[in-house]
Amino acid sequence: MNEIDLAGVDLNLLVLFQTVLEERHVGRAAHRLHLSPSAISHGLKRLRLLLNDPLFLKHPKGVAPTERAESLREPVDRILAQIRQVVATSEPFDAARSQRTFTIGAPDAIAAVVVPAALAEVRGEAPGVRLRVRDLEPTHTLDALDGRSIDVALHPLEPVPARFEALDLYEEDFVIAARSGHAIGRKPSLDRYCAAEHLLVSRGRADRGFVDDLLEAEGRSRRIVLVVPSFMWALAALRDSDLIGTLPRTLVRSHGTRFGIRVVEPPMPIGRSVIRAVTPKAAMTDAGIAWLMHLLRTVARDFAAPHRRRSR
């Protein structure tokens, strides 16, 4: 295999590539990087020659990545995250002065609860710090942590491998979510639950969830009439329909009111897990990561309290 000479490769081109891939627009990428659009176009030309691929094709609303560009997303993210960590740890972390970007990987049901509270704290303690959230498939979480393409994962990981540091944030269970006034709220029962029309959150092609396994064990089933890819979409869909959803309690408690969604206690226990902040133990030697982990545990206390009261 021929060894590639990196002496002539400008690492800034990877930053440019990452930014254009995120923005999908040359003008917006230029604004973020404090460059001119022509400088972005020139950099993309150099990348095309280097990688022997068009990378981005013109589109009425900006640019669209090629298949090759999409395949480079994960390795480029990982490389830049590692470089940023090396640079960031070369001097003491000062939250008040830091300009770092921290990447958090989390399903949207957890991110929608934890990240807004974390952001409020960050704005007060570290106004120059930026948070980036990545919606990860559960099966990719450990690989993303090992590859340092994310700094911290928010996830109900169980068990947590020994090479990771894990902080318990809050306990989660599932409830019935339905629009205010829905009949399921007047007299909930297992029969009414099974007879209702259901919404399922599934990011893949699955047409059933863990609730269906629980019902099957009881000789029961339910009818799913709508499948959506995220929990926030689920809240919007429930607001405008007679469907019911089985959603995380903390999510519904945090965002249900503005969607006109109420919590209905399920007729049977439906899942219980501990949501954790997880990072590699080696990363905890980075004062910035340690600060972020402490901040996440601190903000989680507010929405963890109701769960502690119920468990008494």
CATH of the domain at 48: 1.10.10.10
Note the pLDDT of residue 256: 94
User: Are 186 and 302 part of one and the same domain?
Assistant: no
DSSP 218-275: TT---EEEEEESSHHHHHHHHHTSS-EEEEEHHHHHHHHHHHTEEEE--SS---EEEE
Residue 310 pLDDT level (bands cut at 50, 70, 90):
very low
User: Measured in Å, how far apart are the chain's first and last C-alpha atoms?
Assistant: 63
Provide the 3-class DSSP secondary structure of residue 169. Answer: strand
Per-residue pLDDT, averaged over 214-237, amounts to 94
| Residue 228 is assigned to a structural domain of this protein | yes
| Residue 88 is assigned to a structural domain of this protein | no
User: Are 107 and 255 part of one and the same domain?
Assistant: no
Note the pLDDT of residue 268: 87
Nearest to 84, CA basis, from 290, 289, 292 = 289
Residue 106 pLDDT level (bands cut at 50, 70, 90):
very high
User: Are 267 and 288 part of one and the same domain?
Assistant: no
User: Are 224 and 267 part of one and the same domain?
Assistant: yes
| Residue 119 is assigned to a structural domain of this protein | yes
User: Are 119 and 133 part of one and the same domain?
Assistant: yes
Q: Who's near 239: CB < 8 A, 6+ residues apart?
A: 179, 259, 260, 261
Note the pLDDT of residue 3: 54
Q: Who's near 245: CB < 8 A, 6+ residues apart?
A: 176, 177, 178, 198, 199, 200, 201, 234, 237, 238
Per-residue pLDDT, averaged over 191-206, amounts to 91
Per-residue pLDDT, averaged over 87-102, amounts to 82
What is the maximum alpha-carbon separation in the chain? Answer: 71
Scan for tokens 């068990």, then name that residue: 159
Strands 223-228 and 197-201 come out as parallel
User: Are 71 and 107 part of one and the same domain?
Assistant: no
Contact predicate 197/244, CB 8 Å: yes
Q: How many domains does the chain have?
A: 3
Res 135 pLDDT > 50: yes
Residues of the domain holding 291: 93-169+275-310
Among candidate residues 83, 102, 127, the one where a domain is terminated? 83
